[in-house]
Amino acid sequence: MTNTYAIVLAAGQGTRMKSDLYKVLHPVCGKPMVEHVIDHIRSLNANRIVTIVGYGAEAVEEVLGEKSEYALQKEQLGTAHAVQQAEQLIGDLEGTTIVVCGDTPLIRPETMEALIAHHDKTSAKATILTAYADDPTGYGRIIRGEDGQVLRNVEQKDATEEEQKVTEINTGTYCFNNRALFETLKKVKNDNAQGEYYLPDVVGILQSENERVSAYVTEDFSETLGVNDRVVLSEAESVMRRRIAEKHMRNGVTIIHPDATYISADATIGRDTVLQPGTMIEGQTVIGEKCIIGPNSQLVNSVIGDNTTIYSSVILSSQIGNDTNVGPFAHIRPDSNVGNHVKIGNFVEVKKSTLGEGSKVSHLSYIGDSNVGSRVNVGCGTITVNYDGKNKYTTTIEDDAFIGCNSNLVAPVTVKQGAYVAAGSTITENVPENSLAIGRARQENKEDYVKKLNLK
C-alpha cells in the first residue's frame, strides 16, 4: 500500500467572516470546522497530517493539539504557497498526499477515501475533487478539453465570461503524487487577478507537461461547501445537523423534529431513545437506551444512563443514572453524579453533588457541594447553605435520611443515617443516626389576640 499524507490549509484570516475568531475555528454543530476536517482525515489513517497555520496559529494549534503536525505560513501568499510550507516536513517522502481546505467541513471521509482510491487507480500525478454547482459563483472552475480531459482550473476572478458559465467547480480538495506536488509548486506563479500563488495551478502545470491529471466528481454538492462567510456557515450547519440526525435515526433513535434538534458531531445516543423538539445535545454527551429527552433540554458533555427522562432541563458536565427522572426545569451543574432511580423535580438546582440510588429532591431545592446517600427524601424548598461569602463547605446526608420541607442545612454539616429533620429547621450541628432534629422557633398561639387588636 502507498503511504498517504494529508495537508490541511488553515492559515487564512477569513476576512469575509468579519469576525475576531479565526475562520477555521468557527464551530459547525459545536465543533470548529477545521477539527471536523482533521477528524475525518484521521479516520483514513493517514501516515502524517500537517496543518498549515498562520493567522491565529496558536489558537488553531491549541484546538487541534496532538491531532496534527504544524507548519507555519508567515505570510498568506496563496494556497500553493501554503502547501509549500509542508515541504520541510514531508517534501521528500514517497506516497500520495491529500490536500483539504480547513473551511470545507462537510467533505465526508468516504468521499476522501474514494478520491484517493480513484487517484491511485488512475496513476495520476494530480486528481482534483470536483462537483457540479447550481450557482458556481466564487469557486474555481474546471476547464476540460474537447475529449473531456481536465486541462486546468481557473479562479472566479480570472475567468472569462465564457469560463464563468462552467458549473463544474473545484471543491478545494486534491490528491497528488507527493514528490510531483512539491516539484511543481516551485513552478507556480502569481501573475493573476489576486497576485496569489494558486494551488490548483499545479494541476494545469502538470497537464501541460503531459503528466496525467484527472478529476473525481462527487455527486453531492452540499459536501463541498466552502465556508467563506456566515451565510454559508449557517448552510453548513444545517447540512451537518441533518446528516448527524440521520445517522442517529438510522441507528434507532427517534427524533420528532430533526430540524429543531441540535446534536453535536461527537454525541452517542442509544436505541429507542426519543429526542423531543428544542433539544440540544452538545459536546461529548453519551445517552443510553430508551430515554426521553426534551422538549427543550440542553445536555452538555454529560453521561445519561438507560430509561431516564430529562424533561425541559439543563445538564452540564454531569452523570445521570438509569431509570431516573429529571425536571421539568431542573438545572444540574458541573461535576454532579445522580444515581439510579432518582427523582429530581421542578426548580431544583444541583451543583457538584452526588445523589445515591432512589433519592428524591422533588421540588424547589438547592443541593450544592453535597453528598446525598440512597433513599433520601429531600423536602420541598430545602437549601444546602454551602457558602459563607468566601469558602464553600460540604453537606452530607446519609442513607435513608428525611429532610423536612423548607430546611436550611448550614454546611459543613452531616445528617446521619436514618435521621429526620423537622420542616422549617435551620440545621447548624450534625444530626445523629435515627434522631429527629428540630431547629425552629416553637409556635405560640395567643388566643383572642386578633380581637384585642381590634382587627375584627
Cell of residue 67, nine digits? 491531532
Q: How far is the CB of 12 from Ca ion (least distance, A)?
A: 8
Comparing CB distances to ligand UD1, the nearer of 202 and 287 is 202
Q: How far is the CB of 139 from Ca ion (least distance, A)?
A: 8
Burial of 327: CB neighbours in 10 Å, binned 0-12, 13-18, 19+: buried
State how far Cα 192 lies from the chain centre. Answer: 39
Q: Answer with the entry of Ca ion, ligand UD1, none that 198 interacts with (C-beta below 5 to 8 A by kind).
A: ligand UD1
Query: What values do phi and psi take at 253, rounded to 5?
Result: -100, 135
Spatial CB neighbours of 323, under 8 Å, sequence gap ≥ 6? 305, 306, 307, 308, 340, 341
Integer angstrom CA distances of residue 170 from 142, 162, 419? 6, 17, 72
Pick the binder of ligand UD1 from 4, 5, 7, 12 (CB under 6 A).
12
Interface pattern 95-134 for Ca ion (x via CB under 5 A)? --------x-------------------------------
Q: Answer with the entry of Ca ion, ligand UD1, none that 12 interacts with (C-beta below 5 to 8 A by kind).
A: ligand UD1
Q: Answer with the entry of ligand UD1, Ca ion, none that 82 interacts with (C-beta below 5 to 8 A by kind).
A: ligand UD1
Answer yes or no whether residue 226 interacts with Ca ion by CB under 5 A.
Answer: yes
d(CA 320, CA 397): 19
Answer yes or no whether residue 167 interacts with ligand UD1 by CB under 6 A.
Answer: no
Nearest to 286 by CA among 312, 260, 272, 305: 305
Query: What values do phi and psi take at 307, rounded to 5?
Result: 55, 30
Answer yes or no whether residue 223 interacts with Ca ion by CB under 5 A.
Answer: no
Q: HSE of 36 in the Cβ direction (CA atoms, 13 Å)?
A: 26
Catalytic, 26? Answer: no
Distance from first CA to last CA of the chain, Å, rounded?
A: 98
Q: How far is the CB of 115 from Ca ion (least distance, A)?
A: 18
Q: How far is the CB of 156 from ligand UD1 (least distance, A)?
A: 8
Answer yes or no whether residue 216 interacts with ligand UD1 by CB under 6 A.
Answer: no
Pick the binder of ligand UD1 from 150, 169, 361, 419 (CB under 6 A).
169
Which residues inside 239-258 make contact with ligand UD1, applying CB under 6 A? Answer: none
Integer angstrom CA distances of residue 433 from 31, 416, 430? 50, 5, 10
Cell of residue 362, nine digits? 422533588
Answer yes or no whether residue 341 interacts with ligand UD1 by CB under 6 A.
Answer: no
- Binding residues for ligand UD1, per CB under 6 A? 9-12, 24, 52, 54, 73, 76-79, 81-82, 101-104, 139-140, 153, 155, 169-172, 198-200, 226, 228
Task: Give the residue numbers annotated as catalytic, written as ranges.
Answer: 363
